[in-house]
Structure 1
Amino acid sequence: MSISLSRMRRSIALSVPSSTNLTRFLSLLSLLGLLSISACSKKIEKTEDIRPVRVIQAKLEGSEIFSEFSGEVRARVESRLGFRVGGKIIARKVELGSMVKRGQVLMQLDPQDLLLGQAQAKAGLAAAESNRDLAKAELKRYQDLREKNFVAQAILESKDSAYKAAQASYEQAKAGFSTQTNQAGYSSLVADVDGVVTAIDAEVGQVVSAGTSVVRVAKTGDMDVIVGIPEDKINAIRGMTDVKVRLWANATQSYNAKLRELSPIADPVTRTFLAKVGLPDTAKEVRLGMTATVSFGVKNPLAMIRVPMTALFQEKNISSVWIVESGVVKLVPVQLGASSGEDILISAGLLPGQTIVTAGVNLLKAGQKVTILGVEAEHNASPAAASVAAGVAK
């Protein structure tokens, strides 16, 4: 028992540090605290923000200014045909897209009422003819009696008036019969020209009135491309003589066209001005209803610099572009000339040979360092210009 108590006293004594050890321990803790504070207060070095950009090299060129609009191919002459009399449709002889010839029957009305009217007019004509013949015979007989002085002159004049009235009634009945005969013929709707059926507005069993459109026929031959011109392009379009049409079905083929009509009044819904562009006779592959792109162009007499629209930076209604000089970007205000497809022509503000940023312009700031990812060749640029742009990328 005494041995156990002595061992416990020695272990307690060893666990309690001496005054010297305690002083050293506290000093060590203070040193560690100072080191941690100094480590936290050390400034972290900032990494420089260098943005990658794509560029092109400015180059003067006498570009062709043009504007493009989408349109639809339509026939130059498209007629809305309707019956000249009212009635019930009993037959439809054509389908949508059918090719028709002049004089071909398109639709028919029930002719029963029209035939009855024709028969009535014919009977009236026969009665008028009979009355005329009787009056004529009476006049002849009284003329003979007057020559023999058997009747007075007044009686002869009355017979002459009766004959003239009968003759007029006959002419009236004859005209009525001709009218009813024409009306009976109007029960069949025929094509006026060679063409194609573009729409059917009425079906069998429907009762239509005179003049109501029941079928549309587009005349074969001349075709137009119908486009809507915005109001800010009207004055420019009038002076552009180089008009080309490309079909969406064959974008590689273009046709020389001509602006045939330009509406002086804007459409109340779209607020655009309707323009009709005439296609040449050589456009044999064009079909009605095709989608086409019409480009209006004119040769620009002044040399300008062409840049893509993505290079423009708009701020406070001022158009600018970023140029790269010595690895940093600089914002330069420019004056816009005109649009040319997906590009913009710059008339002032840039010099040939300057490096222009074409992508990421909204993420840049003045004096920022950039790195060039690659150089995009200008639209339709020559191989020589592309090689110069490649040198800028290096």
Structure 2
Amino acid sequence: MPLPLPRAAALAVLLPLLAACSEAQPQAAKAPPVVQTALVRLAPETEDRRYTGVVVARREAVEGFRVGGRMIARLVDVGDRVKAGQVLARLDPTDLDLAAESAAAEVDAAKAALARAAAEVARGAALAGRSFASASDLEGRELTRDEARGRLLRAERQHALARNQRAYAELTASADGVVTGVSAEAGQVVALGDPVLTLAADGVIEVSVAIPEGRLGDLDGGAATVSLWSDGTTYPARLRERAPAADAASRTYAVRFAFDDPQGRARLGMTATVALTRGDPRPVARLPLSAVLDQGAGAAVYVVGEGGRLALRPVTVLRWAAGEAVVSGLAEGERVVTLGVNRLAPDLPVRLASAAL
């Protein structure tokens, strides 16, 4: 049945439009992938550790008498400067004088006995020469003389010892220095070797610090400096001494660092800070572990270049740390992809996840 003329005309207009709509549409271009990135920040690969200590003298001696007795005088106080050989304190010398006089009397008696024994030997030799005395009698006289000679020698040694002990009644400084402590007062009875005062000798000064047992590795191969709290002056320092065993209570090791102070600003007892620096001073970058890619040719990272295209950059991994890799071979300010690097390819255009990164 033929269609009416108006409907036929409408179909003639719609058929071309339907045919055009049924044709396949061209596929839209695929958008570049979005990547997470981070800026490279270079910094030296060093670690600084700081420990608080006290300025001390390298040589600090506790001075005491070499004999016992009652101390009658102390001639210095804390803070006084002394010279080597200067008298610091005195003991009552009465008993020591008596001992020296007794030893001198023993020497005189031994000399007299030796002289008498020598005279007897001479008399015996004369009698034996005229056959008035036997050889055994002369031999006995000679033995008596030799014994007297030995007693004289012993008496002389005792006399010398008594004189020395009399001299020990005066306590003298063992070196130039400053008195840092006093342990006895005049009128006190002290025994041989009891501490009387403490003397810090002039010369090299040091800083004494306590290092925890877990940080002893900081002492190996690192540079050290000493800073005074009083004025902030900093000096190069060198490790001079470390204790072979830890303190039983604190579990720390006593360590001493020596330093030169030509201006004389450091004073004994001042507080100082010892800084220990370890590591490589060359600038390195710290990246997340997910940023490093190794496809068999060594470690590399993807760097976002101009136009948003990726470049595969070889790097050197200096060490692996907790959650990060310390690498060299990058420049300050470069942008590195940190996630999904195994799905990327060189020269691939990408978009940044955030313009703030």
Give TM-score scaled by structure 2 length.
0.69
- Cα distance in structure 2, aligned partners of 1:142 and 1:156: 5
Distance 1:273 1:336, change over 3 A: farther
| Residue 152 of structure 1: aligned partner | 134
Which of 58, 61, 72 lines up with 1:76 in the alignment? 58
Contact persistence 1:103–1:191 (CA under 8 A): yes
- Cα distance in structure 2, aligned partners of 1:228 and 1:83: 32
| Residue 245 of structure 2: aligned partner | 265
1:120 Cα deviation after fit: 0.8
- Cα distance in structure 1, aligned partners of 2:321 and 2:112: 87
Contact persistence 1:73–1:226 (CA under 8 A): yes
Distance 1:58 1:108, change over 3 A: farther
| Aligned residue type for 1:149 | S
Contact persistence 1:80–1:214 (CA under 8 A): yes
| Residue 168 of structure 2: aligned partner | 186
Query: How many pairs are equivalent?
Result: 264
Structure 1 residue 277 corresponds to structure 2 residue 257: yes
DSSP 3-state at the match of 1:250:
coil
Structure 1 residue 289 corresponds to structure 2 residue 269: yes
Distance 1:305 1:200, change over 3 A: farther
Contact persistence 1:257–1:278 (CA under 8 A): yes
1:187 Cα deviation after fit: 0.4
- Cα distance in structure 2, aligned partners of 1:145 and 1:124: 31
| Aligned residue type for 2:114 | R
| Residue 152 of structure 2: aligned partner | 170
| Residue 248 of structure 1: aligned partner | 229
1:236 Cα deviation after fit: 2.7
- Cα distance in structure 2, aligned partners of 1:349 and 1:281: 38
Cα shift readout 1:264-286 (whole Å, capped 9, x = no counterpart): 21111221111100112535211
| Aligned residue type for 1:190 | T
| Residue 98 of structure 2: aligned partner | 116
- Cα distance in structure 1, aligned partners of 2:153 and 2:248: 52
| Aligned residue type for 1:231 | E
Q: Which structure is higher in helix share?
A: 1
1:235 Cα deviation after fit: 1.4
DSSP 3-state at the match of 1:64:
strand
| Aligned residue type for 1:111 | P
Distance 1:336 1:111, change over 3 A: farther
Contact persistence 1:105–1:191 (CA under 8 A): yes
| Aligned residue type for 1:84 | R
| Residue 385 of structure 1: aligned partner | none
Distance 1:267 1:208, change over 3 A: same
| Aligned residue type for 1:250 | D
Contact persistence 1:135–1:166 (CA under 8 A): yes
Give unmatched runs, 5+ long, in structure 2.
1-38, 288-318, 335-355
| Aligned residue type for 2:153 | E
| RMSD value, Cα | 2.7
Percent of aligned positions with the same letter in both sequences? Answer: 36
Structure 1 residue 64 corresponds to structure 2 residue 39: no
Distance 1:103 1:162, change over 3 A: same
- Cα distance in structure 2, aligned partners of 1:81 and 1:266: 27
Contact persistence 1:255–1:283 (CA under 8 A): no
Contact persistence 1:81–1:214 (CA under 8 A): yes
Cα shift readout 1:216-246 (whole Å, capped 9, x = no counterpart): 1111011110001111111132221x11110
Cα shift readout 1:177-201 (whole Å, capped 9, x = no counterpart): 1111111110000011101111111
| Aligned residue type for 1:177 | H
Give unmatched runs, 5+ long, in structure 1.
1-56, 307-334, 339-345, 355-391
DSSP 3-state at the match of 2:121:
helix
Distance 1:82 1:233, change over 3 A: same
Shifted more, 109-118 versus 145-154: the winner is 145-154
DSSP 3-state at the match of 2:192:
coil
Contact persistence 2:64–2:193 (CA under 8 A): yes
- Cα distance in structure 2, aligned partners of 1:250 and 1:336: 40
Contact persistence 2:42–2:283 (CA under 8 A): no
DSSP 3-state at the match of 1:266:
coil
Give TM-score scaled by structure 1 length.
0.62
| Aligned residue type for 2:53 | G
- Cα distance in structure 1, aligned partners of 2:273 and 2:320: 25
Matches within 5 A, 1:343-362: 347-348=324-325
